[in-house]
Amino acid sequence: MIPFFRKIRKTLADDNKPIKYFRYAIGEIVLVVIGILIALQINNWNNELVNKRDEHDIIKNINLEFKQNKKTLGEAIKYHKTILANTKDMMSLIGQSEAVLKKYNVDSLISQSLDYIEYNPSKAVYTDLISSGKLNLISSDSLRLLLFEWSIRLDEKIEAYKTVDEISQTLLLPYLTKNASLKNIDSYSIVKWKEKSKLSTNYYKMFQDLEFENNMENQVWDITNYIMALESLEKATEKVIEKTKREL
């Protein structure tokens, strides 16, 4: 096309027809501009297609990651509800007679009340999304808001766990160190001592102590609060799963 116009331009110039030459020159410029605009539009279309494919892959990966998180989160909630139930059972023994107390394995009950764990969801996709700046590829404002809500619930879960652990480390464990056998208690934990402590322990006296009841009540409260934080995170996770499912 361009060589063709150059030939015409040369002919017009040789024929000394400046007006026609000028018109053809303008026409050539217009065609060049149109060509550039078309090329830019095609490039934009290509970029949009790439972004759409990237967005689809991101949403798909979020959906898969959060589905797995929902499964492990449900297991964590169930696990800690068992711990809570066992801790409440032990609370019901406080103030009971020595004969009633002897019917129970106190070391095992105490061990279970301390057997809480920190739940950490998989967040590789989410972290990459934030660190890479690809969050803007998600066109759905509501999905971005749900991801933000999920991150808030995750922070709340982290704080709830810190509370459980801090209270146990600063109040309950120091009390048990003075009044119970940690070796006997740990025989029901990951340590699994085969031999019991050779030193005597008066659990009846401990179960008549108001300080012990208060320490265990703190444990019940903290574990309950932790479970509530996990359940809030579970609801936020389910919202993201449902939204990504609709977006795919």
Q: Is residue 120 part of a domain?
A: yes
Q: Is residue 144 part of a domain?
A: yes
Q: Is residue 221 part of a domain?
A: yes
pLDDT at 27: 64
pLDDT at 120: 96
pLDDT at 24: 54
Q: Is residue 128 part of a domain?
A: yes
Average pLDDT over residues 185-212: 93
Check residues 147 and 1 and name the one with the higher pLDDT: 147
Q: Is residue 24 part of a domain?
A: no
Nearest to 73 by CA among 132, 157, 185: 157
pLDDT level of residue 106 (50, 70, 90 thresholds): very high
Nearest to 240 by CA among 144, 158, 155, 154: 144
Q: Is residue 217 part of a domain?
A: yes
pLDDT at 51: 62
Average pLDDT over residues 69-83: 97
pLDDT at 50: 64
- With a CB cutoff of 8 Å and minimum separation 6, the contacts of 77 are 227, 230, 231, 234
Q: Is residue 60 part of a domain?
A: no
pLDDT at 5: 47
Residue 161 pLDDT greater than 50, yes or no: yes
pLDDT level of residue 97 (50, 70, 90 thresholds): very high
Q: Is 184 exposed, middle or buried (0-12, 13-18, 19+ CB in 10 A)?
A: buried
Task: Give the C-alpha separation, 31 to 29, whole Å.
Answer: 5
Q: What is the mean pLDDT of the chain?
A: 87
Maximum average pLDDT range among 21-25, 41-45, 131-135, 230-234: 230-234
Q: Domain span at residue 232? A: 69-247
Summarised one tens digit per residue, pLDDT across range 11-65 is 545 555 555 555 556 666 766 667 676 766 666 666 666 667 888 999 999 999 9
Nearest to 70 by CA among 185, 233, 224, 196: 233
Q: Is 107 exposed, middle or buried (0-12, 13-18, 19+ CB in 10 A)?
A: buried
Q: Which residue has the tokens 């020159």?
A: 25
Least confident of 55-59, 80-84, 117-121, 222-226: 55-59
How many separate domains does the chain show?
1
Where b means 16+ CB within 10 Å and e means fewer, 111-147 reads bbbbbbeebebebebbeebeeeeeeebbeeeebeebb
Please state the pTM of the whole predicted model: 0.81
pLDDT at 165: 96
Task: Give the C-alpha separation, 147 to 135, whole Å.
Answer: 10
Residue 137 pLDDT greater than 90, yes or no: no
Q: Is residue 106 part of a domain?
A: yes
